[in-house]
């Protein structure tokens, strides 16, 4: 189905969430480990030499049973009109102030499909999915260097709940 933006321009079709298949999960692991490692290095939390090993370790701890890990939901994002896979989304059940919420561990849109509204539509689809799963809200983390994601989340109505800041003083000499 097609929608229209506020000035009447035709928007792209719906982006749908489809439970991830095992073959897709294997690709997800191959792509997620180095991407997460790179983000942790970029934000200064990990050294490059240890980043891949730490990323693999965290993923194995979070998803010890892969796709079958209880409380985790992994989806392939599809362009409803073409049926093409355009990205992925990973959420997990978490408690927040006594409520069950969906925590977004990962969303990624394939490079060829970026800037076409898929991330925004995936989050809209996630709201409906989260309600159907009994969640009362959606939480997420965004790296400080990812200004594009921050802008998207703000546009979708997400509010900052914690902000961690850092100043590198090793390079600055008085």
Digit-coded pLDDT (tens) for 77-94: 999 888 899 999 999 999
CA distance 134 to 161: 22
| Confidence grade of residue 11 (pLDDT, cut at 50, 70, 90) | very low
Edge-to-edge strand list for the sheet holding 138-140: 15-19, 72-79, 85-96, 99-109, 138-140
Mean pLDDT, residues 101-119: 92
3-state secondary structure of 153: helix
Query: Model-level pTM greater than 0.85?
Result: no
3-state secondary structure of 30: helix
Q: What tokens appear for 46 in the block? A: 């990990």
How high is the pLDDT of residue 163?
A: 76
How high is the pLDDT of residue 3?
A: 40
Percentage of residues in the chain with pLDDT exceeding 70?
91
């Amino acid at each position: 189905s097609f929608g229209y933006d506020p000035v009447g321009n035709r928007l792209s079709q719906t982006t749908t969430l489809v439970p991830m298949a095992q073959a897709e999960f294997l690709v997800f692991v191959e792509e997620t480990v180095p991407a997460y490692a790179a983000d942790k290095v970029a934000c200064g939390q990990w050294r490059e030499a240890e980043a891949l090993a730490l990323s693999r370790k965290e993923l194995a701890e979070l998803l010890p049973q892969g796709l079958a890990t209880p409380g985790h939901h992994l989806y392939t994002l599809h362009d409803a009109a073409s049926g093409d896979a355009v990205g992925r989304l990973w959420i997990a059940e978490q408690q927040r102030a006594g409520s069950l919420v969906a925590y977004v561990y990962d969303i990624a849109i394939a490079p060829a499909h970026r800037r076409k509204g898929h991330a925004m539509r995936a989050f809209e689809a996630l709201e409906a999915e989260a309600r159907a799963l009994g969640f009362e809200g959606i939480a997420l983390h965004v790296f400080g260097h990812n200004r594009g994601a921050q802008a998207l989340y703000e546009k979708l109505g997400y509010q900052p709940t914690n902000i961690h800041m850092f100043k590198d003083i090793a390079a600055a000499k008085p």
